[in-house]
Amino acid sequence: MRLLFIGDVVGRAGREAVAAVLPRLRTGLRVDLAVVNAENASHGFGLAPDMAEALFAAGADVLTLGNHAWDRKEIIPYIADHPRLLRPLNYPLGTPGAGVVVVDVADGRRALVAQAMGRLFLDPLDCPFRGTAEILARHRMGAGGTVQAVIIDFHAEASSEKMAFAHAFDGQASLVVGTHTHCPSADHQILPGGTGFQSDAGMSGDYDSVIGMQKEGAASRFWRKMPGERLSPAEGEATVCGVFVETDDATGLARRIEPLRLVGRLSQAVPE
């Protein structure tokens, strides 16, 4: 299976860039399943329903969120009716929406997509390790399993927690990819047990910025140590960042993993 994950979409620049390149990426890479993290898509904070619809229309099969999941209150009734929009699975019992979905792809194959959120330097939640383990115990990969691939978006601040999480589930997932920091890491690899891993997919947004936000306002907060106006997304040309993985349908494990950095100001990395 050929899997594409696109990192945190930030603001209009990120949305427009993803909408422009995702259709051709799907065709050129023969993508079976495309997952997009969209928690910053609506003016940098949260996701509005109309913008979720636009990303689905552009070619996203599943959208994931994160710690900004509820910044747009109108997403609450929407997520309850749209199972392909995921919030972290380790939110408390009774939280609207779900953190996992099984998607039908071509040729009768199925893929599981899940999102969990870390707890270091973020709001305390239920244990992401236990929650993920419970889900994977019910959904084995590969021939004879319930799914042929598993993608996990681990939305976390600390690289150490992301690495520990990936190693904890090495051999049980096709891809564990970190989101949240908006900085693409250079550690894409296949772990010893066969799981593809990258600490952070990076953001899909304008990199002439401070993690996607206009740099003047962000720098002022550090310089003056005083609260200022609400940060706004940078609106220059965006780079679409993410990761591409090709898996073995017989096992669900990764055969190759390549980073994606397309258009914008970052050095380019385009999978073949």
Taking only the tens place, the pLDDT of each residue in 214-264 is: 999 888 888 888 877 788 999 999 999 999 999 999 999 999 999 999 999
Tell me which amino acid residue 118 is: G
CA 47 to chain centre: 14
Q: Find out whether 67 and 39 touch, Cβ atoms under 8 Å.
A: yes
Place of tokens 């259709």: 23
Of 245, 249, 250, the closest CA to residue 29 belongs to: 245
Give the CA-trace dihedral at 10, 202, 2, 151, to 10 degrees: -90
Q: Find out whether 191 and 170 touch, Cβ atoms under 8 Å.
A: yes
Q: Find out whether 179 and 37 touch, Cβ atoms under 8 Å.
A: yes
**What value, to the nearest 5°, has the Cα angle with vertex 98 and ends 161 and 18?**
75
92-106, 111-125, 212-226, 244-258: least confident range: 212-226
Q: What is the pLDDT of residues 165-209, one digit of tens each?
A: 999 999 999 999 999 999 999 999 999 999 999 999 999 999 999
Q: Give phi and psi for 258, each to the nearest 5.
A: -140, 140
**What value, to the nearest 5°, has the Cα angle with vertex 217 and ends 216 and 221?**
115
Q: Find out whether 234 and 214 touch, Cβ atoms under 8 Å.
A: yes
* pTM for this entry: 0.96
50-54, 88-92, 103-107, 162-166: least confident range: 103-107
Q: Which domains does the chain have, with CATH numbers?
A: 2-207+235-262 (3.60.21.10)
Q: Report, as residue numbers or ranges, the catalytic residues.
A: 68
Q: Find out whether 241 and 266 touch, Cβ atoms under 8 Å.
A: yes
Cα-based distances in Å from 179 to 147, 170, 233: 23, 18, 18
Beta bridge pairs of residue 4: 34, 244
SS3 call for 162: helix
Average pLDDT over residues 127-132: 98
SS3 call for 237: coil
Give the CA-trace dihedral at 60, 137, 259, 153, to 10 degrees: 60
